[in-house]
Amino acid sequence: MPELPEAETIVRGLRPLIVGRRITRAEVLRPDVLREGVRSFAPRVRNRTILAVERRAKNVLILLDGSRRIAVNLGMTGRLLPFPAPPRGARRPGHPAVRFRFSDGGVLVFDDTRRFGTVECLGDTEWTVREARFGPEPLGDGWTARALHVALSGSRSPVRSWLLDQRRVAGVGNIYAAEALFLAGIHPQRPASSLTKTEATALHGAVRSVLSDAIDEGGTTIRDYRNAIGGEGGYASLLWVYGRDGEPCRRCGTAVERIVFANRSAFFCPRCQPAAR
């Protein structure tokens, strides 16, 4: 599932390609991806100009004139694909769900194989309510090591589960939680409240480092993720533990292990990330 680096990569790729364009109509081919009715969605975006493209948590936000924004959650296999003209033949997306047509003849296609992604149009008030559900941005100046330690100290949840809770910190998913915990030397099942101030500081730095490096590499392609021009992310080859169970740890040579809890796989090095006594 695309996480913060993948969403940020897509946003950066879309900006120069769609900002300033006017949407003449929206064609909803798969209504189940909408979080509102087709009769509500299509008129709200029609004849609106795209002013900016931003990201919040794992969501891509296409800001429109008239104080509206299209919020796209990519789900597991969603893609936002811009084309200067309607694609034909082999270039045509295989699972288009929503197609935005521009006044200059170009199109933006939300393509989603498994259709776990969502698309909706929100006004300022609606977005304010929605955004309040997300925690702080981990790459923002307001997210400090001290704030992280204070927040962790109030929870007995496993620290990996804590990091995945979008109400605690926005945009971190299973891949980057695993990587950050490895770099900080923390076992994924440690209770959040058991982390010392020093460990919380290490985790804070690891989260920011992993996310920044992944953005620099254009995200992580394990299977489905592609950027705005259809390319793969390059961070997969740099992963320390995620998806590497049975392989030697790149740091100490011990076999990476995989465990499952809270219905999600966790990857760790038992030597570099010892379990709490």
**Cβ atoms of 50 and 122 closer than 8 Å:** no
The two beta strands, 257-261 and 118-123, are: unpaired
Confidence bin at 171 (pLDDT 50/70/90): very high
Structure tokens at 254: 């011990």
Residue 277: per-residue pLDDT: 55
Query: Considering the domain boundaries, does residue 69 fall inside one?
Result: yes
Over range 176-191, report the average pLDDT.
98
> Do 104 and 219 share a structural domain?
no
> Do 109 and 73 share a structural domain?
yes
Confidence bin at 150 (pLDDT 50/70/90): very high
Among the candidates 103, 131, 159, a domain finishes at: 131
> Do 149 and 127 share a structural domain?
no
> Do 34 and 92 share a structural domain?
yes
Query: Considering the domain boundaries, does residue 137 fall inside one?
Result: no
What percent of the chain clears pLDDT 70, i.e. is strictly above it?
100
Return the closest-CA partner of residue 22 out of 60, 66, 71: 66
Q: Domain residues for 174?
A: 145-268
Q: Sign of the C-alpha dihedral, residues 224, 226, 230, 231?
A: negative
On the question of pLDDT at 47 being above 60, the answer is yes
Residue 92: per-residue pLDDT: 86
Average pLDDT, the chain: 95
How far is Cα of residue 24 from the mean position of the Cα atoms in its chain?
28
List Cα–Cα distances, 200 to 4, 50, 92, 147, 167, in angstroms: 20, 40, 47, 9, 18
CATH code where residue 46 lies: 3.20.190.10
> Do 105 and 75 share a structural domain?
yes
Residue 133: per-residue pLDDT: 95
Q: What is the pLDDT of residues 54-82, one digit of tens each?
A: 999 999 999 999 999 999 999 999 999 99
CA quadruple 244, 249, 255, 261: dihedral, nearest 10: -50
CATH code where residue 182 lies: 1.10.8.50
Residues acting as catalytic residues: 2-3, 58, 264
Question: What is the total count of domains within the chain?
Answer: 2
Query: Considering the domain boundaries, does residue 136 fall inside one?
Result: no
Query: Considering the domain boundaries, does residue 247 fall inside one?
Result: yes
On the question of pLDDT at 1 being above 80, the answer is no
**Cβ atoms of 111 and 35 closer than 8 Å:** no
Among the candidates 131, 154, 184, a domain finishes at: 131
Residue 137: per-residue pLDDT: 98
The predicted model scores a pTM of 0.94
Q: Residues 190, 195, 198, CA angle at the centre, nearest 5°?
A: 140
Confidence bin at 222 (pLDDT 50/70/90): confident
Query: Considering the domain boundaries, does residue 138 fall inside one?
Result: no
